[in-house]
């Protein structure tokens, strides 16, 4: 993955991603609508001349990941939530990915600290040749030291050109996987901690999709939606609300097109992930370049 890889563009993407994440702290507050937050953060990235690596995720309480608002979403923050913001900028084929947790309730600061400390402790272990299970062991140990569990079926990942989840999985516990990090590799470390069981399951909310290959259809309406995805998002994740705005088609017609693409195995869907026992979830994530003796954080 290191041949013809322009790390200077990756650093640009990481910087804008981190700036957008920092901006989220100023707008995630009691009374804010989730749709307004998502659209403002997505606009923030675009105004800096970049595209989006994926739709802004705003996952609250026991929702761990993959919640992005619907087109007519009227959900509003009450001030009692723990809020995960996960986002990334994109320039050319280079992708950003980072996340923080904001505790509006004042009740989960220890959990937020546990996720942040787990991330920093894990980052301290990153270097070429490090087995990934050692990183996972440190994440779980850090969470448990604060009285929480790491979520075992979520984790960090490699990031390559075009591919947000590439070639290596970095667990949030010691899963025995001894694959090692390589110098020059781009990765995201992503602890999730919870006061629940430590497992997530798919929920009903489904607003994020990704086209994976070409498909055929005899319907002009469905073909126009498929062509719009190809022209605007290619094989990068997109939100259903983006299609509603971009194609001026209603949700029914768009979902019909997405269902047809799914029948042809041409699309992947990302339903919201919910802690299995309803536990609260905190998340922290940074993207970095693996170096011989450490790493360079790019989302800073």
Residues classed as catalytic:
86, 97, 157, 165, 190, 285
Instruction: Give the span between the Cα atoms of 187 and 204, in whole angstroms.
Output: 29
SS3 131: strand
Retrieve residue 6's tokens: 């322009």
Long-range CB contact pairs, 263-269, < 8 A, 24+: 264/215, 264/216, 265/212, 265/213, 266/211, 266/212, 266/213, 266/214, 266/215, 267/209, 267/210, 267/211, 267/212, 267/215, 268/209, 268/210, 268/212, 269/206, 269/208, 269/209, 269/210
**Rounded distance, CA 126 to CA 118, Å?**
13
Are 43 and 55 within 8 A, CB to CB?
no
**Residue 90, beta-bridge partner list:** 51, 95
Please, where are the H alpha helices in the chain?
A: 7-27, 34-47, 109-123, 132-145, 220-232, 240-247, 251-263
Residues sharing a CB contact under 8 Å with residue 238, sequence separation 6 or more, in sequence order: 55, 208, 209, 210, 229, 232
Q: How far apart are the first and last CA of the chain?
A: 23
């Amino acid at each position: 993955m290191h041949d013809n890889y322009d790390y200077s563009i990756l650093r640009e993407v990481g910087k804008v991603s981190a700036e957008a994440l920092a901006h989220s702290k100023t707008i995630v507050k009691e009374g804010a609508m989730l749709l307004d937050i998502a659209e403002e953060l997505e606009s923030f990235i675009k105004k800096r001349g970049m595209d989006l690596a994926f739709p802004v995720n705003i996952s609250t309480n026991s929702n761990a990941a993959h919640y992005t608002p619907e087109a007519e979403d009227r959900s509003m923050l009450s001030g009692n939530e723990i809020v995960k913001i996960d986002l990334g900028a994109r320039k050319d084929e280079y992708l950003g990915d980072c996340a923080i947790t904001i505790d509006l309730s004042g009740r989960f600061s220890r959990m937020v600290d546990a996720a942040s400390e787990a991330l920093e402790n894990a980052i301290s272990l990153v270097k070429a040749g490090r087995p990934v299970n050692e990183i996972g062991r440190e994440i779980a140990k850090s969470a448990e030291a604060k009285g929480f569990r790491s979520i075992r079926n979520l984790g960090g990942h490699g990031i390559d050109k075009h591919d947000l989840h590439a070639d290596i999985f970095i667990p949030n516990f010691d899963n025995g996987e001894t694959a090692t990090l390589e110098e020059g590799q781009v990765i995201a470390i992503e602890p999730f901690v919870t006061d629940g069981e430590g497992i997530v399951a798919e929920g009903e909310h489904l607003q994020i999709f990704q086209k994976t290959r070409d498909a055929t259809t005899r319907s002009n309406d469905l073909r126009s939606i498929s062509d719009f995805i190809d022209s605007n998002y290619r094989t990068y994740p997109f939100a259903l609300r983006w299609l509603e705005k971009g194609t001026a088609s209603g949700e029914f017609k768009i979902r019909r097109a997405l269902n047809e693409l799914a029948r042809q195995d041409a699309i992947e869907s990302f339903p919201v992930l919910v802690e299995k026992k309803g536990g609260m979830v905190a998340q922290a994530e940074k993207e970095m370049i693996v170096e011989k003796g450490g790493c360079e954080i790019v989302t800073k």
